[in-house]
Amino acid sequence: MQSRQAKKPSNAPEPGMFQERSLAVQPKKAKKSQQPDLKTSLMQAEQYGHHLNQMNFAAQSTLNVVQPVQCAGGFGFNQIWNKRPPKPKPVPGQPNPGLQQTDPTLGTLTAHHKYGLQDIKHDLQHPNVLGHPNPTTTPQGQNFLHWADPTSSKPTLTHSDVAWTAHNIFMGPKPEHRLDDPGKVPGALHPDLDTHFTESGTVTPASELALDIHQAGGIPLFNHQDLINRLNALPNAHQASSFNPAEWTQVGGKWQQTGMPSNWHQMSIQDRIKYAEESQTYSFLRNHLFK
């Protein structure tokens, strides 16, 4: 696996020094996309014909940052969680994040991260995020704002929003009940990177984004405008991928994704991205040209 070491800034404040305040999100001029438009077009056509809606950066918005409580809740760019943040609870009047689902056969389901939780924690330690005096003025800091809240619907963000952002979650059997959980597959090349497949074997758009983010070196290093475009292209960025029994097959009392290639965990990231792109193209042709 590619080494992704991050040095913790020496001026990072000690816990307890961070005071509640509001940070103005300063728009930055986006870089020209380095990724082909075809990928976005295919994802749009594949996902119910949704069209890309560019985010409007004409006006400033305000993000209220709340002091962390026992290092578990509250999102501060100059703090890092010491234990896994709790799953966000449903907010009245807002879409249910869908992280607490059950199935008649499997019982309580687990929220699986596409882009790994430890990678997210690692990415937060980027020098232009952790301890930066004005992180929301940097592309790296703004990447986390868009990652945590693609639809810009939340007046405040917490560490839970960053760690459990819905588009990065798919629901499934518990890890100990899966044959294909990357953290439990012997010899898996990327045990902290999971992938959600449709029944036919197509890599879902959000999972393809997770692969590309990993390849780019993390959320802070992903092209800022590309990230906005990719998140806006997701049909349900505010919802986790619900459990679909047709996407899972039981083998010897355990479960695995029906569409996952048998050698997936031994494939390099480059080969996984190639497979994801080809599966999207094939799905587009199958659904829109060969009908």
Please tell me the predicted confidence (pLDDT) of residue 288: 52
* 4 belongs to a structural domain: no
DSSP 251-279: ETTEEEETTS-TTGGGS-HHHHHHHHHHH
* 12 belongs to a structural domain: no
User: By the 8 A CB rule, do 141 and 135 touch?
Assistant: yes
Query: Buried (b) or exposed (e) across 184-217, using 16+ Cβ within 10 A?
Result: ebeebebbbbbbbbbeeebbbbbbbbbbbbbbee
* 193 belongs to a structural domain: yes
62-95 pLDDT per residue, tens: 334 333 322 223 467 878 888 899 887 766 665 5
* 65 belongs to a structural domain: yes
User: By the 8 A CB rule, do 77 and 136 touch?
Assistant: yes
* 2 belongs to a structural domain: no
Q: Which domain holds residue 282?
A: 21-288
User: By the 8 A CB rule, do 203 and 279 touch?
Assistant: yes
* 11 belongs to a structural domain: no
118-174 pLDDT per residue, tens: 999 999 999 999 888 888 889 999 999 999 999 888 888 888 889 999 999 999 999
- pLDDT greater at residue 180 or residue 155: 180
* 270 belongs to a structural domain: yes
Q: How far apart are CA 219 and CA 169, in angstroms?
A: 16
* 13 belongs to a structural domain: no
Tell me how many domains the chain contains: 1
Q: How far apart are CA 33 and CA 51, in angstroms?
A: 17
